[in-house]
Structure 1
């Protein structure tokens, strides 16, 4: 009889502890859900990219440079509903940003443009990294969205500078002078043989 009573009490204790554990787990899940909702709302509010060209040069390149057009189209589409949608979108934006290195128009294929593209790719990759962490640092993601916008503006302004500079007519002989300044075309320093004498 004592055995049955102790077994009954043990069973009641186990059931009570299971209910307490379920309540704790449910409270923890609600806390995580609220935190994720706050993160989602912060990222959703900040997710606005400059997807329209800001000058004539950038607008012209939208029609002629396929990779640039695809990149602007990708950042212009805003994901909805979940953090997972933002994660997929950031991955897609990252792929389009990497493609910017391909088929750069001849007039823009310059170090100033390439360096700005590299910086843009780096910031997009950083955003993708942060948004795919298990605990998303929404403050860093929102900061990087602003930085990506700055880099897009910088790239478009550089495009405009290059186009405007190309419109300036060159003076007679300027091409030859610029070629002479090019150190890659210079004659390499040759070692002089000390046994040779000039008479």
Structure 2
């Protein structure tokens, strides 16, 4: 009889323990789901990129530079519903950003443009890295979205500066001066001391004119 009572009590204890574990697991799952929902909401709210050209030069680049057009199109398409959709979109943006190193228009194939593209790519790749972590640091992702927008504006303004600089007419006489400078450099140096003929031997016995 005592054995049956002990067994019954043990069974009740086990059942209670299992119930407590299930309740604890459900509470943790609910907490984790709420946390992920908050992360999704934060990223979804911050996911706003400047996908429209900010000046005429950028509009022209969008028409003529395929990689730039593809990049703007990619960032302009906002994902929906799940964090997985944002992860997929981030990877696609990173791929399009890397392609900006290709086929840069000749006018903009300059160090100041390349350096800004490099910075933009770095920040896009950082965002892609953070958003794919198991524990997503949403504050870093949202911060980088803002930084990416800043780098895009900086890049587009640099496009405009290069075009505006190319329109500035040279000062009157500047081209002639530069041309003369090049011509002068091409003329060999003729200011060296003249070569004197060697002295002749003078006969000391020859008659001298008084």
Deviation track 1:137-184 (CA, whole Å, cap 9, x = no partner) reads 11111111110000000000001111111222444158779x9xxxxx
* 2:175 matched residue in structure 1: 172
Within 1, Cα distance between the matches of 2:132 and 2:145?
15
SS, match of residue 93 in structure 1: helix
Within 2, Cα distance between the matches of 1:10 and 1:151?
66
* 2:96 matched residue in structure 1: 96
* 2:53 matched residue in structure 1: 53
Q: For this pair of structures, how many residues does the alignment match?
A: 179
Deviation track 1:73-128 (CA, whole Å, cap 9, x = no partner) reads 00000011111111111111000000000111111100011000000001001111
Query: Pairwise mapping of residues 1-199 of structure 1 onto structure 2 (< 5 A)?
Result: 1-170=1-170, 171-172=174-175
Superposed CA RMSD in Å reads 1.9
**Larger gyration radius, structure 1 or structure 2:** 2
How high is the TM-score relative to the length of structure 1?
Answer: 0.85
Unaligned 5+ runs, structure 1: 180-199
Of residues 132-141 and 13-22 in structure 1, the stretch that sits farther from structure 2 once superposed is 132-141
Tell me: CA distance 1:138–1:173, structure 2 relative to 1, closer, same or farther (3 Å). farther
Tell me: CA distance 1:152–1:6, structure 2 relative to 1, closer, same or farther (3 Å). same
Of residues 153-162 and 6-15 in structure 1, the stretch that sits farther from structure 2 once superposed is 6-15
How high is the TM-score relative to the length of structure 2?
Answer: 0.81
Within 2, Cα distance between the matches of 1:23 and 1:8?
23
Within 2, Cα distance between the matches of 1:175 and 1:36?
66
